[in-house]
């Protein structure tokens, strides 16, 4: 009986942790997914170009982006796009503002994106890979847009250290794993405080945050 009760308490705690990723009052500033593209390579100018582009999708559906580039062709204007397909024959999902480099080949920009503009990115990324393309004539750079995923959830104070798996079909719960639902996305996004005790009025002591172990998604 004691073993069954312990398993029930553990299950309730894990469900609370996983569902905390969808707070009922989530604001537009709550991130749902963050993609990062790392740019590197030698362009037509012969210099080693590098940079990072970050794309964020919020729970409300809108998004934002930020770019930081260096070593590109000086005083050149680059087109920036999120696409699916191949670098040479892309299907554009989202066009970001053009980037104009300074005399040293550097450029930076940031801005917001409406829900309508983010919609094609989100629907495509749900079932396949997306990537970033930066081009100015023959000067071309492409890189996959990746996001971190949680591989384990650990709460040392409760002795919990479990691999994270996706729930498939009606199998619930599996033993010795932490499961998540597609509706609340992959764990690892910012979460609200969630109780690790039995739900109810007695659950009033300070709650714990899970510690996520992550790896980059392809």
Domains of the chain listed by start with CATH number: 2-26+148-216 (no CATH), 31-144 (2.60.40.200)
Q: What is the mean pLDDT of the chain?
A: 76
The per-residue pLDDT for 163 is: 85
- Measured between alpha carbons, how far is 191 from 19 in angstroms, rounded to an integer? 9
CA nearest neighbour of 125 among 30, 215, 61, 33: 33
For 125-157, the pLDDT digits (tens) are: 988 899 999 999 888 999 999 988 778 888 888
Alpha carbons within 13 angstroms on the beta-carbon side of residue 163 total 6
Q: What angle do CA 108, 114, 117 make, to 5 degrees?
A: 90
The pLDDT assigned to 161 comes to 86
Which residues in the chain come in under a pLDDT of 70? 1-29, 44-45, 167-169, 171-173, 180-218
Structure-token match 């920036």, residue found: 80
Helix (H, G, I), strand (E, B) or coil at 23: coil
Nearest to 199 by CA among 7, 1, 5, 15: 15
Give the pLDDT confidence score for residue 165 in this predicted structure: 77
Contact 146, 155 (CB under 8 A): no
Is residue 69 within 8 Å of residue 106, measured between CB atoms? yes
The pLDDT of residue 194 is 31
């Amino acid at each position: 009986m004691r073993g069954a009760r312990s398993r029930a308490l553990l299950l309730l705690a894990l469900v609370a942790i996983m569902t905390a990723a969808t707070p009922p009052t989530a604001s537009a500033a709550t991130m749902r997914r963050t993609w990062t593209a790392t740019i590197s390579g030698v362009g037509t100018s012969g210099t080693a170009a590098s940079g990072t582009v970050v794309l964020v999708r919020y729970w409300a559906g809108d998004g934002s982006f930020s770019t930081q580039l260096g070593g590109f062709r000086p005083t050149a204007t680059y087109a920036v796009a999120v696409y699916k397909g191949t670098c040479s024959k892309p299907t554009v999902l989202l066009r970001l503002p053009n980037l104009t480099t300074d005399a040293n080949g550097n450029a930076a920009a940031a801005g917001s994106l409406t829900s309508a503009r983010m919609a094609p990115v989100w629907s495509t990324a749900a079932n396949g890979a997306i990537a970033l393309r930066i081009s100015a004539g023959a000067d071309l750079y492409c890189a996959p847009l990746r996001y971190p995923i949680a591989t384990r959830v650990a709460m040392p104070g409760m002795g919990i250290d479990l691999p994270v798996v996706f729930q498939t079909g009606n199998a619930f719960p599996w033993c010795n794993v932490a499961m998540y639902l597609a509706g609340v996305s992959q764990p690892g996004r910012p979460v609200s405080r969630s109780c690790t005790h039995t739900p109810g009025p007695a659950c009033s002591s300070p709650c714990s945050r899970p510690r996520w172990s992550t790896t980059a998604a392809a």
